């Protein structure tokens, strides 16, 4: 059944030099011809793909705007269908009135993500590539942009396809063995079979690890700065903020407002929650400060625990150190521009960085320590990085299937049992790229897109 022709505004709502309305479907060109007249007098239906015409948008006699109409012919368009993109002046009211006219002339309003969904259904991109488009649009930093670009260029799909190909030959060999158990089946040498499964498990494991690091690069990491009064937390905060202070977001909490400040530290965005906790006054009773710190530590993905290097550790410092044990923590020994009274042996087992928050010394070392502890230090954003929780879950299911197949093989289970696990892994990979996916899953993915995408 032919899909109905859809239309939507594809540029942001607001004031801009131009705004674009996209029409896609079998009747895209004829719908556009009903509302657009080219100055050349030629209808859009006479144009081949990738040709543009300048003219006017009109509702009967009534002129709405000057416009450029760009024609794409199926399958060489974003959606794989005939597409017309009409550029008019970019006011919200203007765009709405032109869209209304297009809808009155035979197009239907597009659902969220419907253009990209059609591109997926028409084989123009797979699900990892479709999801990368969402990443490209929402990227807040250079690394996110790179990861999304890599995925859009097919890095993730290619990596998954390689693992998939190995598992398909494994499944085929197992099936052949089940049919002819007494014959030597090529490719079913146990050693090479194990090696292949092990290799697939390693590749999947690496992808899962890169997801976690990629997520930190994309979304930032919730961080708290803790330490007794006067150790230099505010000074550190100022050093981190520097010129880079970007956004202060106020998120309405259920019981009170939490203020989150975002600061860039190298490639990583630190989401400093509850910075109010940093700014105790000199007369804050130390133990109250420590109690506060303990509460905040539990809620963060990263703790920066600051100590004053000019004073030996006292009991409150030790309490703080005790409460950050086992957390993702960097111990910061501050005030290294003055004489040190702290011993390295005070911090055995902790990742430690020495800085002078006042002078900025040790800042690069702090950046490296944060990258190291967040797992981003060794992540190449141009590589195949999984971009969504859905992708991670599929990769994880595949990893589980492969490792179960390996242990079934090693513990002497039947080849049928090994085959079931390999099939599970394969199904998960096919779902990851969308080669085999239910409508519910793909609907769910495209619902997260905006209208017009």
Instruction: Provide the binding-site residues for ligand GDP, judged by CB under 6 A.
Output: 227, 229-235, 278, 280, 334-335, 337-338, 356-358
Give whichever of 73 and 358 is closer to ligand GDP, judged by the CB atom.
358
Give whichever of 105 and 316 is closer to ligand GDP, judged by the CB atom.
316
Q: How far is the CB of 361 from ligand GDP (least distance, A)?
A: 8
Rounded distance, CA 160 to CA 128, Å? 10
The answer to whether the CB of 321 falls within 8 A of the CB of 305 is yes
The answer to whether the CB of 296 falls within 8 A of the CB of 272 is no
Give whichever of 113 and 227 is closer to ligand GDP, judged by the CB atom.
227
Q: What is the H or E stretch that residue 299 is in?
A: helix 286-299
Give whichever of 235 and 352 is closer to ligand GDP, judged by the CB atom.
235
Q: How far is the CB of 241 from ligand GDP (least distance, A)?
A: 12
Radius of gyration of the chain (CA): 29
- In the three-class reduction of DSSP (H, G, I as helix; E, B as strand; rest coil), residue 328 is classed as coil
Give whichever of 108 and 347 is closer to ligand GDP, judged by the CB atom.
347
Give whichever of 233 and 397 is closer to ligand GDP, judged by the CB atom.
233
With b meaning 16 or more CB within 10 Å and e meaning fewer, what string describes 165-204?
ebbeebbebbbbbeeeeeeebeebeeeebeebbeebbebb
Which token pair is 113? Answer: 């993500």
Give whichever of 201 and 273 is closer to ligand GDP, judged by the CB atom.
273
β 221-226/268-273 pair status: parallel
Q: How far is the CB of 366 from ligand GDP (least distance, A)?
A: 12
Rounded distance, CA 170 to CA 166, Å? 6
C-alpha atoms less than 13 angstroms from C-alpha of 444 in its C-beta half-sphere: 9
Which token pair is 369? Answer: 């320590």
- In the three-class reduction of DSSP (H, G, I as helix; E, B as strand; rest coil), residue 164 is classed as helix
Q: How far is the CB of 272 from ligand GDP (least distance, A)?
A: 13
221 to 69, 98, 251, 306, 403: CA distances (angstroms): 44, 43, 16, 18, 31
Q: How far is the CB of 284 from ligand GDP (least distance, A)?
A: 8
Q: How far is the CB of 370 from ligand GDP (least distance, A)?
A: 18
Q: How far is the CB of 23 from ligand GDP (least distance, A)?
A: 58
Residue 93 backbone dihedrals phi, psi, to 5 degrees: -70, -40
Give whichever of 290 and 425 is closer to ligand GDP, judged by the CB atom.
290
Q: How far is the CB of 367 from ligand GDP (least distance, A)?
A: 17
41 to 11, 53, 65: CA distances (angstroms): 28, 10, 17
């Amino acid at each position: 059944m032919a899909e109905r022709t859809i239309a939507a505004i594809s540029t942001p709502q607001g004031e801009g030099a131009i705004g674009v309305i996209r029409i896609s479907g079998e009747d895209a060109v004829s719908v556009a011809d009903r509302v657009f007249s080219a100055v050349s007098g030629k209808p859009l239906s006479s144009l081949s793909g990738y040709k543009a015409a300048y003219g006017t948008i009109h509702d009967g006699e009534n002129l709405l705007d000057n416009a450029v109409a760009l024609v794409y012919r199926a399958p060489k368009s974003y959606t794989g269908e005939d597409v017309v993109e009409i550029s008019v002046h970019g006011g919200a009211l203007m765009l709405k009135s032109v869209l209304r006219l297009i809808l009155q002339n035979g197009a239907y309003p597009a659902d969220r993500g419907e253009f990209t969904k059609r591109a997926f259904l028409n084989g123009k991109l797979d699900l990892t590539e479709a999801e990368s488009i969402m990443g490209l649009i929402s990227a807040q930093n250079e690394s996110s942009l790179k990861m999304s670009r890599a995925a859009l260029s097919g890095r993730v799909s290619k990596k998954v396809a390689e693992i998939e190909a190995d598992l398909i030959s494994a499944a085929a060999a197992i099936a052949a063995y089940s049919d002819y158990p007494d014959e030597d089946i090529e490719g079913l040498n146990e050693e090479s079979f194990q090696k292949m499964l092990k290799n697939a498990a390693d590749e999947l494991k690496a992808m899962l690890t890169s997801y976690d690091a990629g997520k930190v690069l994309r979304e930032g990491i919730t961080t708290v700065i803790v330490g007794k009064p006067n150790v230099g937390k505010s000074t550190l905060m100022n050093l981190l903020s520097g010129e880079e202070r970007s956004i202060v977001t106020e998120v309405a909490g259920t019981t009170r407002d939490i203020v989150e400040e975002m600061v860039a530290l190298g490639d990583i965005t630190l989401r400093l929650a509850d910075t109010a906790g940093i700014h105790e006054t000199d007369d804050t009773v130390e133990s109250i400060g420590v109690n506060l710190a303990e509460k905040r530590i539990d809620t963060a993905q990263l703790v920066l625990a600051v100590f004053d290097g000019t004073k030996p550790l006292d009991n409150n410092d030790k309490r703080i150190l005790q409460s950050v044990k086992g957390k993702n923590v960097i111990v910061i020994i501050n005030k290294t521009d003055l004489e040190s009274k702290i011993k390295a042996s005070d911090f055995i087992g902790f990742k430690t960085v020495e800085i002078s928050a006042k002078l900025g010394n040790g800042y690069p070392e702090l950046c490296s320590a944060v990258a190291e502890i967040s797992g981003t230090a060794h992540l190449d954003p141009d590589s195949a990085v999984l971009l969504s929780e859905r992708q991670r879950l599929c990769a994880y299911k595949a990893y589980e299937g492969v490792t179960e197949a390996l242990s079934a093989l090693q513990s002497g289970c039947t080849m049928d049992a090994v085959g079931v696990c390999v099939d599970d892994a394969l199904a998960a990979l096919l779902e990851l790229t969308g080669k085999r996916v239910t409508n519910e899953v793909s609907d769910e993915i495209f619902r997260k897109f905006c209208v017009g995408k």
